[in-house]
Amino acid sequence: MVHSGPMPNPPRRRPVDRMPESAFQLLVEGVVDYAIFMLDPDGHVASWNSGAERIKGYRADDILGRHFSTFYPPEDIAAGKPDRELEIAIAEGRLEDEGWRLRKDGSRFWANVVITALFDATGDLRGFGKVTRDMTERRRAEQALLERRRLVHHLVEAQELERRRIAWDVHDDSIQSMVAVGMRLQLLADRVPEEHVATVTRLDQAVRSAVERLRMLVFRLRPPEIDRNGLVAALEEYLGDVAPMWDLAHAVRDELEREPPVDTAITIFRICQEALTNVHKHARATAVEITLSTVDRGTLVVIADDGIGISLTRDHQAGLEHFGMIEMRERAETAGGWWTLGIRPEGGTAVRFWLPTTSDTA
């Protein structure tokens, strides 16, 4: 750091009496979160503290004088790991390792270990300082997170596959059959007695609008083309298709600092689709805007409309019977994020949700 101008006065420090060595020893002995102990130059345990007793399960009497390889699982001993770690500590001054260690009762814990070689003023090796932390919980949490990512990945994949199947079924089967029915109804309308023509014509119209709705369903079930140009482009394309049909002015605001990974992007796309369907069906809005931004190592998405706003009845709050809301919330929460629906102060409704970045590079 470069200082310019006069140096500030150094803060005044109260002169302290140097703590006696015994006090420092009390500190080390009292620490319970870390096993802190010494090894002699050959690797025998030469001191012990409360943390070591708590983490490893040995009392000082049990362990003093024993070789520290006692703490290693058999496969590490067979591989010569304890001695190798001491050699590295001597050569490099220090060694850090993470791995399984054994407690006195034989159970394993995941340990972070730092071994420091201690030399005296003449350069002779006096022994080693060893600090061990029990990382089992953290490792478990990390593994749970990884497992969750894997599950979410499979879930998103399975959902997309299922959607594709449903889309093909509806497209190849339901729509075709109904189109054929419609064609026959029109033929029939020319042949039935006059008094039935109106009925048959109405039937034909009903079939035709059902076909339209099924087409829209197939369109919505299509996989988003995120691979090609990214999430924002996929959303713009989708809005470009539906917004004109729905008489909606639309905009996508891209404030992303980085593209979310594909799983997350698909989930975002699907939630946006559902929210947009609601804007169309319920909001009576003239405009909708989607904003995407990178927040808290995740992606924040806001879908805001200028419609009539939403009044949450008890049913809504209980989440009964309204699958759109349930689906959006479940998708977000399954991916480890959150989802909310609220009224905008300037009028209209805003769906807001956040998904963590689930890529392994995060």
Partner 1 sequence: MTRVLICDDDIMIGEALHDVLTAESDLAVVAIAHTASDAIDLAERHLPDIVVLDVRMPGGGGIRVARELRDRCPTTRVVAFSAYADPATVAEMRRAGVTEYLVKGVPNTDIVATVRRLARGPFGKL
Ligand X SMILES: Nc1ncnc2c1ncn2[C@@H]1O[C@H](COP(=O)(O)OP(=O)(O)O)[C@@H](O)[C@H]1O
User: Which residues make up the interface to partner 1 (CB under 8 A)?
Assistant: 171-172, 175-177, 179-184, 186-187, 190, 208, 211-212, 215
Per DSSP, what are the bridge partners of residue 137?
A: none
CA dist., res. 169 & res. 75, Å (int): 55
Q: Given the rule CB under 5 A, which of 63-71, 95-103, 107-115, 316-324 is the region that contacts Mg ion?
A: 316-324
What, of partner 1, ligand X, Mg ion, none, does residue 283 touch, CB below 5 to 8 Å by kind? ligand X
Using CA of residue 154, residue 155, residue 157, residue 162, what is the dihedral sign?
A: positive
Helix, strand, or coil here: 85?
Answer: helix
CA dist., res. 211 & res. 176, Å (int): 9
Q: Is 290 in the site for ligand X (CB under 6 A)?
A: no
Q: Is 271 in the site for ligand X (CB under 6 A)?
A: no
The DSSP secondary-structure symbol of 322 reads -
Q: Is 99 in the site for Mg ion (CB under 5 A)?
A: no
Provide the H-helix boundaries in the chain.
21-30, 50-56, 60-63, 74-78, 81-92, 136-169, 176-189, 194-221, 226-229, 231-245, 262-278, 314-318, 323-334
What, of partner 1, ligand X, Mg ion, none, does residue 179 touch, CB below 5 to 8 Å by kind? partner 1
Helix, strand, or coil here: 355?
Answer: strand
Q: Is 59 in the site for ligand X (CB under 6 A)?
A: no
CB of 254 to partner 1, least distance (A): 25
Q: Which is nearer to partner 1, 201 or 334 (CB)?
A: 201
A 10 A CB-CB count for 129 gives: 18
Binding mask 219-258 for ligand X (x = CB under 6 A): ----------------------------------------
Q: Is 279 in the site for ligand X (CB under 6 A)?
A: yes
What, of Mg ion, partner 1, ligand X, none, does residue 182 touch, CB below 5 to 8 Å by kind? partner 1
Query: Based on the number of CB atoms within 10 Å of its own CB, is 361 exposed (0-12), middle (13-18) or buried (19 or more)?
Result: exposed
Q: Is 327 in the site for Mg ion (CB under 5 A)?
A: no
Q: Is 273 in the site for ligand X (CB under 6 A)?
A: no
Per DSSP, what are the bridge partners of residue 340?
A: 352
Q: Comparing C-alpha atoms, which of 325, 329, 283 is closest to residue 308?
A: 283
CB of 49 to ligand X, least distance (A): 58
Tokens of 256: 């992303």
A 10 A CB-CB count for 55 gives: 22
What, of partner 1, Mg ion, ligand X, none, does residue 208 touch, CB below 5 to 8 Å by kind? partner 1
Q: Which is nearer to ligand X, 254 or 327 (CB)?
A: 327
CB of 95 to ligand X, least distance (A): 57
Q: Is 282 in the site for ligand X (CB under 6 A)?
A: yes
Q: Comparing C-alpha atoms, which of 267, 326, 330, 324 is closest to residue 301?
A: 267
* One of 223, 230, 324, 336 touching Mg ion (CB under 5 A): 324
Helix, strand, or coil here: 96?
Answer: strand
Q: Comparing C-alpha atoms, which of 204, 290, 205 is closest to residue 253?
A: 290
CB of 214 to ligand X, least distance (A): 17
Q: Is 86 in the site for ligand X (CB under 6 A)?
A: no
Judged by CB under 6 A, the chain residues 299 through 328 that form the site for ligand X are: 305, 307-308, 310, 316, 322-325
Q: Which residues bind ligand X (CB under 6 A)?
A: 278-279, 281-283, 305, 307-308, 310, 316, 322-325, 349
